[in-house]
């Protein structure tokens, strides 16, 4: 940092033309696939639906009125609840894992991180369908339960996790767990060992050291993890349909249907915009809280 | 005198590396003891076995008469000032200082009073609500000190706490720490590799080398009567000379050094035959232009003169090639000044020539004394 500030004091404040050139592919990509489509959604959300994916270019607030109507508030609420529960479970499962990796010796740390990354080498869809073979009636889980005589002694023979909300939760947690582990790991790794020693020296046992020193100092990582899990989890679709067999219908599914079989582009756009504003609000809420701590 | 800390035959091995090798150490209640040695000598490991961050491979640690070898750090009545200070970055100065008292479940009003006193003691009043990141290095160091002292530990352990400060601040903190320790009467165990720092602050110094205590004693004893070449060389400057023992009569011995230089030394510990090592502090060599009366007078030339500010360092050489380094007060205002090429008589008073043990630590010397 020192060398760049010495070389050109302005460089830290305003990027020069070289920086713009270096960033241009990213900027083009963002413009083409984020800014323009979002702008189109924004415009479409004020058009009138003409059915069968046709629109009437007439200004209306009707789509937003419908989005906030009691009919769809349930979907929003359910999505928020699923995403919220996913976030909590990811934090509870992911924190100890991240802590363990972060405190491991440097060599083992990288190997453990690899284990977290390996699932990314397989397509998300394949991983999801793999879960159906584990969770369905004749799947791995039930075979195991039968072998252990849990079926039929404790559970009846019709027992199946697939096609239940539990299956949706399992796949949501499974999918987003790495997004919690990685940022938490980042903040655990930065934790200065001597701080833990100082706490112990001052009379704090392991539990109180964790609550008073480790947890507060790794909260930024948890905050980032919450953001990275909650935001995409709210908008999750399709997977929910596969896992629940249609019994769990979330806001993501509703939006997907508007652009698909429902053929109501303006309403789908309005729902999308509402979600987007929600995300931005969440994001600012979190980043602001981090600055104050 | 009460023993506050007793280390009994303490050994610490890390894998195959022996960091501390069978150390016995008594720390007296209320004293300022310094563990002095080069980096990697095991002094920090010794400290960490007293604080509880390391468990001895062998031996035991006693604190105020109680065996604490198996107790975790949070159950020991000692506190440490860390080299990096280790202040909690998310807590204010006041909360950092209050941390230990809160852990001890001290009542809130007592915490408030004692935290205020501790912050006052280290002259940081007005900084209570600052975060560590908003303080200078010296201020952080004071917070670390207050945070440890507020717990009223039986022993305060200081692990090179001044190493990160600049030279000037370090010197004033040395004096301040020493005054604080004298006033509070708390036992201080200080670890440093800086011999000057050790001399300025300590009541006693334990010189640590290769996992063992080479010598332990009062600062003047350590300085004036080093027992081993390592101690003589590590603390201050020393001329270390190899000598052959010619004769040993009563309290005095005659020895012969390089270049046919014969010296009389206090020889009660010398064997009648064999070789030995001698140490002479450069500032104890007396120089004059005329031959003085008395023993151990050598005639030499000034081979090299080095200006060192308050002192001048002279390299002296006799006709036979025997060399000595002498340090004299800055000669600019001296009646007799010696410069490069000058002839000079130097006198080594027999009491100032210290006979060293050739090898081994305290035990080897102790064995010879009996």
pLDDT tens for A145-173 read 989 988 888 888 888 889 889 999 999 99
Work out the minimum CA distance from A11 to partner chain B, whole angstroms.
Answer: 26
Return the beta strands (E) in chain B as ranges.
3-14, 17-28, 32-36, 58-63, 66-67, 78-81, 155-159, 187-192, 204-209, 212-218, 239-249, 252-257, 261-266, 275-280, 286-288, 297-307, 311-318, 323-329, 343-347, 354-356
- Please state which architecture CATH assigns to domain A63-292: Orthogonal Bundle (1.10)
Q: What ipTM was estimated for this complex?
A: 0.84
Render pLDDT for A69-97 as a digit per residue (tens, 0 to 9). 988 988 899 999 999 999 999 999 999 99
Is pLDDT at A181 greater than 60 in this prediction? yes
pLDDT at A139 over 60: yes
Which of chain A's residues have a Cβ under 8 Å away from the Cβ of B114? none
Across the interface, which of A195, A204, A217 has its CB nearest the CB of B74? A204
Nearest CA in chain B to A198: B86
Average pLDDT over residues A120-143: 89
- Between A195, A200, A216, which is nearest B73 by CB? A200
User: For residues B141 and B146, what is the distance between their CA atoms, to the nearest angstrom?
Assistant: 9
Whether the per-residue pLDDT at A269 is higher than 50: the answer is yes
Alpha carbons B237 and A66: distance in angstroms, whole number = 89
Residue B262: per-residue pLDDT: 86
Which residues of chain B are under the pLDDT cut of 50? 360-370
Mean pLDDT of A231-248: 86
Tokens of B103: 């852990």
CB pairs under 8 A between A and B: 59
How many Å apart are CA B61 and CA B81, to the nearest integer? Answer: 20
Amino acid B273: pLDDT: 60
Q: Assign residue A245 a region: left if phi > 0, alpha if psi is -120 to 50, beta otherwise? A: left
Q: How far is B85 from chain A (nearest CA, A)?
A: 8
**Can you tell me the distance from the alpha carbon of A222 to that of A210, in angstroms, rounded to the nearest whole number?**
14
Residues of B in contact with A202 (CB under 8 A): 74, 79, 99-100, 103, 147-148, 151
The reported pLDDT for the residue numbered A153 is 84
**pLDDT score, position A289:** 65
A213 touches chain B (CB under 8 A): yes
Percentage of chain A modeled with pLDDT above 70:
94
From the list B236, B237, B238, B243, the residue with the least C-alpha distance to B265 is B243
Confidence of residue A283 (pLDDT cuts 50, 70, 90): confident
Cα–Cα distance for residue pair B99/A58, rounded to 1 Å: 65
For residue B345, the model assigns a pLDDT of 94
Q: What pLDDT sits at residue A27?
A: 92
Of residues A210 and B257, more confidently modeled: A210
Model confidence at A10, pLDDT cuts 50, 70, 90, reads very low
pLDDT of residue B24: 96
Q: Specify the pLDDT at position B365.
A: 40
Q: Is B40 on the interface with A (CB under 8 A)?
A: no
| pLDDT on residue A124 | 84
Q: Determine the pLDDT at residue B42.
A: 94
End-to-end, the C-alpha distance of chain A in Å comes to 24
**pLDDT averaged over every residue in chain A:** 88
pTM: 0.82
- Within chain A, all domains assigned CATH 1.10.3720.10 are found at 63-292
Instruction: Establish if A201 touches chain B: CB-CB under 8 angstroms.
Output: yes
The pLDDT value recorded for residue B208 is: 96
Cα–Cα distance between B243 and B41 in angstroms, integer?
Answer: 29
Share of chain A above pLDDT 90, in %: 56
Residue B268 has a pLDDT of 60
pLDDT (0 to 100) of residue A9? 46
């Amino acid at each position: 940092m020192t060398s760049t500030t010495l070389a050109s004091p302005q460089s830290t404040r305003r990027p020069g033309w070289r920086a713009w050139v270096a960033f241009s592919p990213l900027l083009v990509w963002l413009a083409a696939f984020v800014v323009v489509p979002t702008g189109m959604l924004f415009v479409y959300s004020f058009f009138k639906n003409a059915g069968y994916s046709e629109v009437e270019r007439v200004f209306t607030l009707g789509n937003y009125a419908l989005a906030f109507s009691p009919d769809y508030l349930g979907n929003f609420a359910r999505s928020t609840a699923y995403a919220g529960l996913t976030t909590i479970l990811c934090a509870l499962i992911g924190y100890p894992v991240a802590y363990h990796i972060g405190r491991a010796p440097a060599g083992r740390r990288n190997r453990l991180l690899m284990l977290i990354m390996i699932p990314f080498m397989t397509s998300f869809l394949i991983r999801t369908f793999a879960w159906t073979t584990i969770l369905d009636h004749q799947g791995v889980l039930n075979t195991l339960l039968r072998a252990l005589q849990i079926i039929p002694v404790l559970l009846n023979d019709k027992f199946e996790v697939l096609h239940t909300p539990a299956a949706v939760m399992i796949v949501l947690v499974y999918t987003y767990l790495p997004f919690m582990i990685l940022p938490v790991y980042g903040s655990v790794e930065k934790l200065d060992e001597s701080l833990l020693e100082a706490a112990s020296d001052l009379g704090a046992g392991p539990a109180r050291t964790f609550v008073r020193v480790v947890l507060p100092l790794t909260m930024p990582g948890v905050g980032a993890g919450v953001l990275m899990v909650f935001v995409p989890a709210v908008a999750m679709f399709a997977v929910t349909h596969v896992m629940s067999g249609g019994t769990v219908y979330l806001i993501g599914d509703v939006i997907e249907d508007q652009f698909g079989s429902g053929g109501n582009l303006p309403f789908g756009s309005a729902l999308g915009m509402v979600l987007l504003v929600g995300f931005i609000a969440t994001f600012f809420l979190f980043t602001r809280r981090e600055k104050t701590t | 005198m009460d023993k506050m800390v007793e280390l009994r035959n303490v050994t610490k091995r890390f894998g195959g590396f022996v960091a501390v090798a069978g150390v016995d150490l008594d720390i007296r209640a209320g004293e300022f003891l310094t563990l002095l040695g080069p980096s990697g000598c095991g002094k920090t490991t010794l400290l960490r076995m007293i604080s509880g961050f390391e468990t001895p491979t062998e031996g035991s640690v006693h604190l105020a008469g109680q065996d604490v070898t198996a107790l975790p750090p949070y159950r020991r009545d000692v506190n440490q000032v860390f080299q990096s200070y280790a202040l909690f970055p998310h807590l204010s100065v006041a909360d950092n200082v209050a941390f230990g008292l809160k852990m001890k479940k001290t009542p809130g009003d007592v915490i408030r009073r004692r935290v205020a006193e501790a912050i006052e003691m280290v002259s940081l009043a007005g900084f209570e609500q600052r975060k560590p990141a908003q303080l200078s290095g010296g201020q952080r160091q004071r917070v670390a000190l207050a945070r440890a002292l507020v717990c009223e530990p039986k022993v305060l352990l200081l692990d090179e706490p001044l190493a990160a400060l600049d030279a000037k601040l370090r010197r004033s903190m040395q004096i301040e720490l020493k005054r604080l320790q004298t006033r509070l009467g708390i036992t201080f165990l200080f670890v440093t590799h800086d011999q000057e720092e050790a001399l300025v602050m300590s009541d006693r110094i334990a010189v640590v080398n290769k996992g063992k205590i080479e010598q332990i004693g009062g600062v003047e004893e350590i300085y004036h009567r080093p027992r081993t070449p390592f101690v003589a060389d590590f603390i201050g400057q020393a001329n270390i000379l190899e000598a052959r023992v010619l004769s040993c009569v009563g309290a005095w011995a005659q020895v012969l050094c390089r270049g046919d230089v014969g010296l009389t030394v206090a020889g009660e510990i010398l064997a009648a035959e064999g070789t030995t090592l001698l140490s002479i502090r450069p500032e104890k060599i007396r120089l004059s232009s005329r031959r003085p009366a008395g023993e151990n007078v050598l005639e030499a030339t000034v081979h090299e003169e080095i200006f060192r500010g308050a002192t001048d360092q002279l390299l002296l050489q006799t006709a036979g090639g025997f060399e000595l380094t002498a340090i004299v007060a800055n000669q600019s205002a001296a009646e007799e000044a010696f410069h490069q090429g000058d002839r000079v008589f130097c006198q080594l008073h027999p009491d100032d020539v210290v006979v060293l043990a050739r090898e081994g630590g305290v035990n080897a010397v102790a064995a010879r004394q009996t």
